[in-house]
């Protein structure tokens, strides 16, 4: 689509409405990639910091964190918000909007970036955005969980997902 006023293509956002990220009705699958080329999470201390921060985020915001997998250069996780007191956050020109999982993820990325500087990372640890998906019938929950946990197997790092220390079920769903 072209903006007739500026004669430039209008970039379509891949995001859903912010309210979709603030509901307890869905599970969310996130993939967050390290910004720099390389494998920063092979550093065991940095990997521990990232995982500890993810668990803290789960606890702080009352997520169900079904599973995660921290790979050498990215993080996958599957979560769901739980019932809690609704908090509104200032979204600038959009006004006050319900706080959601994207707000939590942003704080997680900022915190872990600051922590990563102790390990020699310069600048941002994470890419600006993330690949996220609200689960639906086209990609059922079980398939997503298996996809996340099996990531190191597909990469050829281990033969079974249980062998990868950073491929973990946190809140069982069965």
| CATH number of the domain bearing residue 130 | 3.30.70.1290
Q: How many residues does the chain have?
A: 174
Q: What's this model's pTM, rounded to 2 decimal places?
A: 0.86
Residue 31 inside a domain? The answer is yes
User: Does 1 fall in a domain?
Assistant: no
- 13 within some domain: no
Residue 127: predicted pLDDT: 94
Is residue 14 included in any domain, yes or no? no
Alpha-carbon distance 26 to 22, whole Å?
9
- Assigned domain for 36 exists: yes
**Predicted confidence band at 146 (pLDDT cuts at 50, 70, 90)?**
very high
Mean pLDDT rounded to a whole number for the chain: 88
Task: Name the nearest CA neighbour of 79 among 49, 59, 109.
Answer: 59
Confidence of residue 137 (pLDDT cuts 50, 70, 90): low
The number of distinct structural domains making up the chain is: 1
pLDDT tens digits, 83-120: 876 677 777 787 777 788 999 999 999 999 999 999 99
Neighbours of 155 (CB within 10 A): 11
Pairing of strands 2-3, 167-169: unpaired
Q: Evaluate whether residue 174 is within a structural domain.
A: no
Q: What is the mean pLDDT of residues 22-35?
A: 92
Which domain, by its residues, includes 29? 19-166
Question: What are 33-68's pLDDT values in tens digits?
Answer: 999 778 999 999 999 999 999 999 999 999 999 999
Do the domain assignments include residue 12? Answer: no
- With respect to residue 2, please indicate whether it lies within any of the assigned structural domains: no
State the Cα–Cα distance between residues 29 and 149, nearest whole angstrom: 12
Least confident of 1-5, 13-17, 51-55: 1-5
């Amino acid at each position: 689509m072209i903006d007739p006023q500026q004669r430039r293509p209008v970039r379509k956002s891949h995001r859903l409405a912010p309210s979709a990220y603030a509901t307890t009705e869905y599970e969310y699958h996130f993939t967050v990639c390290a910004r720099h080329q390389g494998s920063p999470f092979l550093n065991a201390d940095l990997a521990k910091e990232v995982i500890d921060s993810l668990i803290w985020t789960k606890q702080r915001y009352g997520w169900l964190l079904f599973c995660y997998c921290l790979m050498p250069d990215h993080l996958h996780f599957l979560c769901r918000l739980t019932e809690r007191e609704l908090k509104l956050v200032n979204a600038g020109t959009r006004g006050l909007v319900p706080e959601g999982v994207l707000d939590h993820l942003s704080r997680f990325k900022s915190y872990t970036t600051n922590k990563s500087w102790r390990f020699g990372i310069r600048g941002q640890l994470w890419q600006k955005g993330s690949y996220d998906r609200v689960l639906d019938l086209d990609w059922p929950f079980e398939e997503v969980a298996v996809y996340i946990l099996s990531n190191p197997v597909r990469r050829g790092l281990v033969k079974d997902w249980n062998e990868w220390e950073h491929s973990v079920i946190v809140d069982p769903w069965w």
